[in-house]
Amino acid sequence: MKSIDDLGDLSGKRVLIRCDFNVPLDGETITDDGRIRAALPTLRKLREGNARIVIMAHLGRPKGSVNPKFSLAPVAARLSELLGTEVRLAGDVVGDSATATVEALSDGEVALLENVRYEPAEESKDEAERVGLAKKYAAFGDVFVSDGFGVVHRKQASVYDVAKLLPNAAGYLVAKEVDVLNRLVGEPERPFVVVLGGAKVADKLSVIDNLLQVADTLVIGGGMLFTFLKAQGHDIGSSLLDEDNVETCKSYLEQAAAAGKQIILPTDIRVADGADFDNRTVKGAVDVVAADAIPAGKQGLDIGPDSEMLFADAIRGAKTVFWNGPMGVFEIAELAKGTAAVAKALTEVDGLSVVGGGDSAAAVRVLGHADDEFGHISTGGGASLEFLEGKELPGIAVLEGSN
């Protein structure tokens, strides 16, 4: 897989680059610009080399139609501030405005095409449709750079098909992501601890399968923990349960024990009558109960204080840590304590600490941590999980296999 340093002199050349600018918005205000800042090293390198930069990116799920709610205008404004130069936003993706915007570029200037997901063919399952759109993208570039790690697990026109049409390379962000994740599945420094949270066990099954072979300890929190507690024979009240995977979780516990590895589950849980996600409030009072004694009608919504210490001790004792998924409903202050404890412990690891994108990356920033307090914060939750599952990522494979 080539890097942009292998592309030679790019002065005066048009560099078509795929970035991941799928940032959270409150109206038109970007609430976390981490993914934009992650692209800066590659973009600055290209500008220093006097390339003419044409950026492709997406925002949200407009589902193949133009929707002003998903315009990249806020991204163009923020990127202009961060780069210290105007980023020209085209009024469309591959139409007259995009063509004129690209043709007007001078050396070192930057253009941003509108949301590529405005184009129905971008995410099409029909390869011919995607290739047709990719050819229009390719007309805007002399070379293609892939730097949107959050989408490399997708076979999409701006990620996969266009890479087959132009000389290509990985940007600094994608190269770093692949390097860090290879360290996790290759020969990680031990002890290697994996912390998994989030709502659904089903989303993490393949990751657990693969990491049980590599990790020394799995720490389980979030909504998924209750299926594990059920597998141990405990009552879980009205907590989230994946009934279809109770037996699978039981087998994981047995596999870990047989292999001399640990799966650490909470010893206590914060429970309430429920959570109102829209209004960011808890229903009823928050109580702490033993993990094996959740009352009927109560819902587990975060790990408890004893579990915070248990999890933090396991994390701080590691030389390599990968974390994906919050420990509770971190968007509600009363239910963010478990996630906060895990995040703080990761900053204290004497080794490599990796935050696996998605809600975990959002959580550490909401909780006030700076990116440089961690070894690496992935920009792609889904992509990083699929990498750790051992799956081939189309957007990486196409870079390794061509040009």
Domains within the chain, CATH numbers bracketed: 4-176 (3.40.50.1260), 190-350 (3.40.50.1260)
pLDDT computed for residue 7 by the predictor:
93
Handedness of CA 224, 267, 279, 30 (dihedral sign): negative
β-sheet bridge partners, residue 275 = 282
Note the pLDDT tens digit of each residue in 367-384.
899 989 999 999 888 898
35 is catalytic: yes
pLDDT computed for residue 401 by the predictor:
64
pLDDT computed for residue 402 by the predictor:
47
Residues in the chain, overall count: 403
Spans in the chain with pLDDT lower than 70: 401-403
Is 360 annotated in some ligand binding site? yes
Torsion of CA 161, 58, 138, 133, to 10 degrees: 60
pLDDT computed for residue 403 by the predictor:
42
Is 21 annotated in some ligand binding site? yes
Is 161 annotated in some ligand binding site? no
Tell me which H or E stretch contains 214: helix 205-214
Is 78 annotated in some ligand binding site? no
382 is catalytic: yes
One of 135, 183, 200, 344 is an active-site residue; which one? 200
pLDDT computed for residue 373 by the predictor:
95
pLDDT computed for residue 282 by the predictor:
94
Secondary structure class of 187 (helix, strand, coil): coil
One of 35, 52, 88, 155 is an active-site residue; which one? 35
Per the CB < 8 A criterion, the answer to whether 58 and 21 are in contact is: yes
One of 150, 358, 380, 395 is an active-site residue; which one? 358
Q: Hey, what amino acid is at 346?
A: L
358 is catalytic: yes
CB-CB neighbours of 81 under 10 Å: 11
